[in-house]
Amino acid sequence: MTNVLFVCLGNICRSPTAEGVMRKKLQQAGLSDTIKVDSCGTGSWHVGSSPDERTISMAEQYGYDLSELRARKLSANDYLRFDYILAMDTRNLADVIKTAPADFQGEIKLLLDFAPGDELEVPDPYFGGESGFLRVIQLIEAACDGFISQYQLNSSIDSPA
Ligand code: 4NP
């Protein structure tokens, strides 16, 4: 079992989108029992809240249901549970690294390390318009596809037919 945690600032826009997108793509790839996903924020302002309405409605247009998700804050226990902690932007990445225990065994990376484009960050859409929410979905879909392809490639190398 591989456990993947997506991290943003508020856990109401980007990381819940990544959780919902990856969960559906894993189902489609037949990997739901192999890779588990979750999301959280580095901040606590929105703990307990549903994703932002603009996030829910953009995701719905792309076929992802985020309505059941609830925001939570990154905790010390997450470093024990997760193999990959994937941050949306460099500020989130720095915060995840700062609070990681020295003996953390997993990988802390930017989500877009798994995407084909040149962008490093999934930009925070919270204070912007609809185009920002669209960009979030597009970048996240590309990165999730990249993550799954890399996982499948590594599994086939680890256990050749
Ligand atoms: P997220 O977006 O980190 O993608 O969930 C944000 C949500 C809320 C705030 C900032 C970013 N906020 O300042 O409340």
Would you say 66 and 54 are in contact if contact means Cβ atoms under 8 Å apart? no
The rounded Å distance from CA 136 to ligand 1 centre is 13
CB of 39 sitting under 6 A from ligand 1: no
For a pLDDT cut of 90, what percent of the chain falls above it? 96
CB of 13 sitting under 6 A from ligand 1: yes
pTM of the model: 0.97
Position 117 pLDDT exceeds 80: yes
Position 14 pLDDT exceeds 70: yes
Instruction: Convert the pLDDT of each residue in 68-99 to its tens digit.
Output: 999 999 999 999 999 999 999 999 999 999 99
The burial of 119, by beta-carbon neighbours within 10 Å (0-12 exposed, 13-18 middle, 19 or more buried), is given as: middle
Mean pLDDT value across residues 124-141: 98
Identify the pLDDT of residue 159: 79
Residue among 2, 36, 7, 42 nearest 22 (CA): 36
CA atoms within 13 A on the CB side of 150: 12
Q: What is the DSSP letter of 52?
A: P
Identify the pLDDT of residue 148: 98
Identify the pLDDT of residue 15: 99
Identify the pLDDT of residue 51: 98
Give residue 157's pLDDT band: very low, low, confident or very high (50, 70, 90). confident
Position 161 pLDDT exceeds 80: no
Mean pLDDT value across residues 4-20: 98
Identify the pLDDT of residue 136: 98
- Nearest-CA residue for ligand 1 atom 12 is 10
Q: How many CB atoms sit inside 10 A of residue 33's CB? A: 8
CB of 55 sitting under 6 A from ligand 1: no
- Nearest-CA residue for ligand 1 atom 9 is 10
Rounded Cα distance, 75 and 47, in Å: 12
Please tell me which residue, 127 or 156, carries the higher pLDDT value. Answer: 127
Ligand 1 pocket test, pick from 11, 12, 19, 53 with the greatest ligand atom count within 8 Å of Cβ, gives 12
Position 160 pLDDT exceeds 90: no
CB of 11 sitting under 6 A from ligand 1: yes
The rounded Å distance from CA 108 to ligand 1 centre is 20
Strand 84-87 with 35-41, pairing: unpaired
